[in-house]
Chains A and B, each alone.
Chain A
Amino acid sequence: MATAKPHIFRWDLDKTYLATEFDSLRDLLRTAMQRPADKANVPGSAELLRALRGDSGGRAQVFFISGSPRQMRGVLSEKLALDGIHYDGFILKDNLGNLLRGRFRAVKEQIGYKLPALLDARTKAPLAAEETLFGDDAERDAFVYSLYADLLAERVPPDVLERVLDTAGVYPDQREAIYGALDRLEPCDPVRRVIIHLDRKSPPIRFEAYGPRVVPVYNYFQAALVLYEDGRLLPETIGRLGTALHAEHGFTLPMLLRSFQDVLRRGGISYDAARKLGGQALRAGIDREVVELFAREASDRSVMPARDRSQGVPDYPSLLEREQQRHRIEKARRKKRRRWL
């Protein structure tokens, strides 16, 4: 495994761990009324999360941070228990409080909620603990997680943060929480990876500005390959996860092969790591034919120029403006589609 340091996995819940639909009011109501056993997982999320804990040798902690209302805690806790997920913390949003205070923007807004929550959670973490963060493309998880990482490492100047908070319309008490947490925190650079589950199948280019730390994935087999590269998962776990996706979620071997080729092409896993994984898989008793099929997927490529893998600091204010503009366009498009229906 990568290091003997403690490792924290922070997971968003809806559309990252759970396959939740909340694009319409009906979806929202249905989600709110669902019993724990009826809640569906994103295929492979539970298996991956259990494996991350298992493969860490007891050094991993799991935290959930979700935009779901606090009233859902009982149902969600029960769902996680049903899935056999042990967690160390679970933050939910005070939507009722926001509504009662007339803060309607805060019900949907993520930056003013997630950023202080993440920073506060970090104040309670061991200084040496590294982090891997999981989110999705339905909200602004890539933005919030990247900003969080760069704030911890003191890579974001105060005026830039101020502009971001202004653009996002963050409330004064949320700003206080952000600055308060930053004051309490020692400078550190713990965020190793941000995995974004492409629930809406957003084009990968949307995440390129965040640098190689952010890897968008189409499924959790791809996420597992990235985490293998990071040293968070054992090689045999990749095989087990592939088998579980096949047996329980209808993923065929060709689907896994194509997913592998895609994440390899996009640089989520390096060719060296893929080759190493092939060797380890053979030693772990994985069928030689299967390993050769994966090797063939890796060879159907051109010699691509090496991509710029350096992690710079994104231009957060411009990125946020672009995100907001994209959100407005998507909203208008959905509205138009509903009118036609």
Chain B
Amino acid sequence: MATIALDAMGGDHGAAPAVRAAARISLERKAAVVVVGDQHQIESALRRTRYDAAFLSIVHTDQVVDMAESPRKALDAKPEASILVGARLVADGRADALVSAGNTGASILACARTFERLPGVNRTALAAVYPTERRRGSNDDPFALMLDVGATLDADADTLVAFAHMGAAYAARISKNPRPRVALLSNGEEPFKGSPAIVEAHRRLAADTHLNFVGNVEGVDLPRGKADVVVTDGFTGNVVLKMLEGISETVVDLARYAYRSKLVWRIGLGLLRGGIVQLKQLTDWKQYGGAPILGFDHLFIKAHGRSNDRALGNAIKVAHRAVESDLCREMGERLATALGDAD
């Protein structure tokens, strides 16, 4: 049974949502959760919650990295910060994966200081799923994966190639899509379009027989689901992801505006209610739980800072699924094979 370490102190709303999420997961009796943080705060929330003691434990620490703190300075000054303690639990084998809604930079740095990088990985990637028109894999998954969305702002060709292999492994294991279509995000489909790093990565990925590389995709192809794994640098990925989230929120706002404006529109929206609710769920970030940081020998799921208990619960479930499907080993093997061929 997988054990997930949950940094309870990182999120914007204190320990309570993390404790409720852990409690809910404990009742399902499929994974155990180690809640890391201030025991007093954790217990105060836990005693008000239904949980199963055989699937939940607490590791105390009273040091926390705040959202506004500089990651490096904060981690140097706080060796017992909850994110570091959680990462150490994973590295020591007391937990199998780490989930946190805290400071992203500090979380990645904590993992970098505690975990090992997979062979061939110079830089890690924050991966995120987004909804598309097309469904994929045996899970009939509507989500495609994009990486990186913020961990590595500037990626060279080696890094993009490694991201492609890690993303393919993730899609194969988590979306049950054995041969995911992998693409590079660029400003044109032609192989010579894009930055030098994109062009060089395109050349190498096109020659890679282990990947189902479908070439370059443009921004317009993303929601259509032309690729199952979209590879890009962290700067571009972050801008694209935030834009997708913004569009989704704007559509909902427009629907609200229409609802208030005219009776006919209100009736129309009423008739479409079921579909709109489904669409809203599909584009609701709380539903995905969190974004995995790929490239380490252990898994870290970064949840949104604003995560409530549902979002954190889903992040724990993503971590659990990744551990159960042995994702890190799969990524390591794919990278080793790709590196062997390159040599």
A is bound by B: yes
Spell out A's residues near B (CB within 8 Å): 200-205, 208, 218-219, 222, 251-252, 254-259, 261-263, 265-266, 297, 300-302, 304
Question: How many angstroms between the C-alpha atoms of A204 and B56 in the bound complex?
Answer: 14
- Shortest A265–chain B CB gap in Å is 7
Are B32 and A258 in touch, CB under 8 angstroms? yes
Closest to A245 in B: B54
Q: List 16 A-B contacts (CB under 8 A).
A: A201-B27, A218-B53, A218-B54, A254-B3, A255-B32, A258-B54, A262-B56, A262-B57, A265-B58, A300-B58, A300-B60, A301-B60, A302-B38, A302-B39, A302-B60, A302-B62
9 tightest Cβ-Cβ pairs between the two chains A and B: A262-B53, A218-B53, A255-B54, A302-B60, A302-B39, A258-B57, A201-B50, A205-B47, A300-B59
Chain A residues within an 8 Å CB radius of B55: 255, 258
> Residue B40 at the A interface, CB < 8 A?
yes
Question: How many angstroms between the C-alpha atoms of A263 and B60 in the bound complex?
Answer: 16
Are B39 and A258 in touch, CB under 8 angstroms? no
Other-chain residue from A200, A259, A300 in contact with B53 (beta carbon distance below 8 A): A259
> Residue B49 at the A interface, CB < 8 A?
yes
- Shortest B36–chain A CB gap in Å is 9
Are A218 and B50 in touch, CB under 8 angstroms? no
Chain A residues within an 8 Å CB radius of B27: 201
Closest to A205 in B: B47
Are A204 and B47 in touch, CB under 8 angstroms? yes
A218-B52, A252-B1, A301-B60 given as contacts; is B39 within 8 A of A208 (CB)? Answer: no
Are A219 and B60 in touch, CB under 8 angstroms? no
**Extra 11 A-B pairs, beta carbons < 8 Å, given A203-B49, A257-B57, A304-B40:** A222-B53, A258-B54, A259-B54, A261-B58, A262-B53, A263-B53, A265-B39, A297-B57, A300-B57, A300-B58, A302-B62
Question: How many angstroms between the C-alpha atoms of A204 and B23 in the bound complex?
Answer: 12
Are B47 and A203 in touch, CB under 8 angstroms? yes
Which range contains the number of B residues in contact with the other chain?
20 to 34
Are B53 and A219 in touch, CB under 8 angstroms? yes
Closest to B38 in A: A302
Of residues A202, A208, A218, A257, which shows the largest number of chain B Cβ atoms within 10 Å of its Cβ?
Answer: A218
Question: How many angstroms between the C-alpha atoms of A256 and B54 in the bound complex?
Answer: 7
Chain B residues within an 8 Å CB radius of A304: 39-40
Are B54 and A301 in touch, CB under 8 angstroms? no
Question: How many angstroms between the C-alpha atoms of A251 and B38 in the bound complex?
Answer: 28
Chain A residues within an 8 Å CB radius of B32: 254-255, 258
Per-residue interface assignment for chain B, residues 6 to 49, with 1 indicating a CB less than 8 Å from any chain A CB and 0 otherwise: 00000000000000000000010000100000111001001111
- Shortest A226–chain B CB gap in Å is 13
Chain A residues within an 8 Å CB radius of B57: 257-258, 261-262, 297, 300
Question: How many angstroms between the C-alpha atoms of A255 and B30 in the bound complex?
Answer: 12
Chain A residues within an 8 Å CB radius of B54: 218-219, 251, 255-256, 258-259
Question: How many angstroms between the C-alpha atoms of A294 and B255 in the bound complex?
Answer: 56
Closest to B1 in A: A252
> Residue B51 at the A interface, CB < 8 A?
yes
Are B40 and A302 in touch, CB under 8 angstroms? yes
Are B56 and A258 in touch, CB under 8 angstroms? yes
Other-chain residue from A219, A265, A297 in contact with B43 (beta carbon distance below 8 A): A265
Chain B residues within an 8 Å CB radius of A204: 46-47
Closest to B57 in A: A258
Chain A residues within an 8 Å CB radius of B60: 300-302
- Shortest A28–chain B CB gap in Å is 24
Closest to A262 in B: B53
Question: How many angstroms between the C-alpha atoms of A257 and B43 in the bound complex?
Answer: 17
Chain B residues within an 8 Å CB radius of A301: 39, 58, 60
Chain B residues within an 8 Å CB radius of A266: 47
Chain B residues within an 8 Å CB radius of A252: 1
Question: How many angstroms between the C-alpha atoms of A58 and B234 in the bound complex?
Answer: 72
Closest to B29 in A: A255
Of residues A201, A205, A208, A263, which shows the largest number of chain B Cβ atoms within 10 Å of its Cβ?
Answer: A201
Of residues B1, B32, B52, B54, which shows the largest number of chain A Cβ atoms within 10 Å of its Cβ?
Answer: B54
Question: How many angstroms between the C-alpha atoms of A302 and B38 in the bound complex?
Answer: 8
Are B3 and A201 in touch, CB under 8 angstroms? no
Question: How many angstroms between the C-alpha atoms of A200 and B50 in the bound complex?
Answer: 8
Question: How many angstroms between the C-alpha atoms of A219 and B43 in the bound complex?
Answer: 19
- Shortest B334–chain A CB gap in Å is 30
